[in-house]
Structure 1
């Protein structure tokens, strides 16, 4: 596609792919907020797993800080200018197992609250004619401000569990406008390709 936005992986280490547009479009089951081609990355260990799944995981929420990828550095996937920063949203507990069902029931309420509620703490970067959003960042971890120029690989924040998130992960999407309510989604590629759901991406450290 002519409007594909080429990105570098915005992290180092091992991450598991979820909700990839390589498997379906819209990738998250909705076209709202220009998210048709969005992708999620979950930080994992070399074994491809995040936090161990225990009986507590099945029945109760878990502290976001208990996940090994919480706070892992998030890097700029493009060279551009930071045009929007939102911080201060709390990192809520993770919901897995039966708790994820209860969390899903409240999805409509979060959607009705709008983009910032869904995205949580986020950074938006203007790169040429594309706008790239990185979402669910850890509270108080963002190290850039609006108006700052960034290069590929510059550290901008830490991986968190803010916004519409069931466990610490990174949501990435590209748009043609700063306002997600009116923007058109742009397809994206990482290092020239798009990983599929369940793939483990190992970015160089």
Structure 2
């Protein structure tokens, strides 16, 4: 039986669960880069919705700033040591409707560029048990965590962004068994002992 690492939610406020391994494994449709058990959280407003879909959003990309939660603080989900930091990837526009089709066609190119091109700005935290937790798609130049420093649950890491392989501002979490993502194995994650399902709205405090 696979070991499981239990995490705290890396945010406060209202978030929507997407691409959860509670619904399918691999959760992102691939085992590439140890993402089999990865989970995505999308920041939403008090009504549980992301940015309203308009006629324009179906036809052209949208500014990331239009989405609720862009720039929202992201917190450490676990105690550990920061073993990886990337902070220089730009935040790009969001893609829904027809623009998302064109964006999907570029995913193979980004995958060929490696995990950092997919993860965008990120922080990686190694736990005392050796697991490595990756917190991805952070806002450009927002990362506060310092390489080699210890962090505790709830400590600020950065802000929610739209960097890397992301169609709208969100946070991607995954746990792996070593720092070398290319050769790592995915580790199942839970939150307070449970795993939220796709479409579930999380109110974190």
Q: CA deviation at 1:146?
A: 0.4
Q: What's the C-alpha RMSD, in Å, of the aligned pairs?
A: 0.8
The residue aligned with 1:97 is 97
The residue aligned with 2:116 is 116
Q: Deviations over 1:161-189 (max 9, x none)?
A: 00000000000000001011000100000
Structure 2: tracts of 5 or more residues without a match: none
Q: CA deviation at 1:68?
A: 1.8
Q: CA deviation at 1:2?
A: 5.1
The residue aligned with 2:173 is 172
1: CA distance between counterparts of 2:87 and 2:144?
10
Q: CA deviation at 1:191?
A: 1.0
The residue aligned with 1:72 is 72
After TM superposition, the score normalised by the length of structure 2 is 0.98
Q: Deviations over 1:78-101 (max 9, x none)?
A: 000001101110000000111101
Q: Go from structure 1 to structure 2 and tell me whether the alpha carbon gap of 1:109 and 1:85 turns closer, same or farther (over 3 Å shift).
A: same
1: CA distance between counterparts of 2:160 and 2:51?
14
Q: CA deviation at 1:32?
A: 0.6
Q: Deviations over 1:10-38 (max 9, x none)?
A: 00000000000000000000001010000
Structure 1: tracts of 5 or more residues without a match: none
The residue aligned with 2:38 is 38
Q: CA deviation at 1:51?
A: 1.0
Alignment of 1:1-205 (within 5 A): 1=1, 3-128=3-128, 129-204=130-205
Number of residues of Structure 1 aligned to a counterpart in Structure 2: 204
Q: Go from structure 1 to structure 2 and tell me whether the alpha carbon gap of 1:30 and 1:2 turns closer, same or farther (over 3 Å shift).
A: closer
Deviating 4+ runs (over 3 angstroms): none
After TM superposition, the score normalised by the length of structure 1 is 0.98
